[in-house]
Chains A and B, each alone.
Chain A
């Protein structure tokens, strides 16, 4: 398996622009997670889906952030409009619901820079 795939790997944009991050989870995994990592705040869970349904979005910073999972093999995280404080590395992770397998598998991340 190719693992969790994220695109783009790097994104540089200007304040006010819309940014869309993409994630393809590992085939067969039921849960998908979006995280944000910064030096100041560490690794934060933004939202997670189970069977394509958002379960917990309490970590989404504000209305500028939205996430979708239209099917089991694709998810997007959108920021509109983007701000410099959104600059961070965004990780997607997936996991299986099988018993005794709580391990999450992380993608390589998208490094977002908002100028």
Chain B
């Protein structure tokens, strides 16, 4: 079963707007990562936030983590058409480096 559930499943916005995607997970984690997948391509790592961190920034990306609610959010500011993709959260639990992926949010940014 999926560790992470993304919300919403699909999101359509206009270029320049902000996009917010949420991820909920079930068990305690070591870290949470966000990946992007363009249609027909492999996944690309965007950002990693550790369990002892609450917020992290990378360019136009802002990730928050609330371990008490077992949830994370990914904010993309000033979206561009090139941001159109599916976005997945993924978690690592316990030892090892096995990632468990969520169900993904399909983002469409229209001109």
Contacts and interface: CB of A to CB of B under 8 A. Distances in A.
Contacts of A97: 97
A55 B88 CA distance: 24
Nearest to A97: B97
B60 interface: no
Interface stretch (A68-76, A79-87, A98-106): A98-106
B2 interface: yes
A43 B33 CA distance: 15
Contact of A43 (B30, B97, B98, B101): B101
Nearest to B2: A42
Contacts of B23: none
Contacts of B45: 103-105
Give the interface size class of chain A: 20 to 34
Q: Is the interface of A mostly helix, strand, loop or mixed?
A: strand
Interface string A48-89: 101000011000000000000000000000000000000000
Contact of B42 (A42, A50, A102, A109): A109
A102 B41 contact: no
Q: Which of B45, B88, B98, B100 has the most CB of A within 10 A?
A: B98
A109 to B, nearest CB: 5
Contacts of B2: 42
Contacts of A45: 98-101
Given A33-B98, A103-B45, 19 more contacts: A4-B42, A33-B99, A42-B101, A43-B101, A45-B100, A45-B101, A50-B96, A56-B98, A91-B42, A93-B42, A102-B31, A102-B48, A102-B97, A102-B99, A103-B48, A104-B97, A105-B45, A108-B41, A109-B42
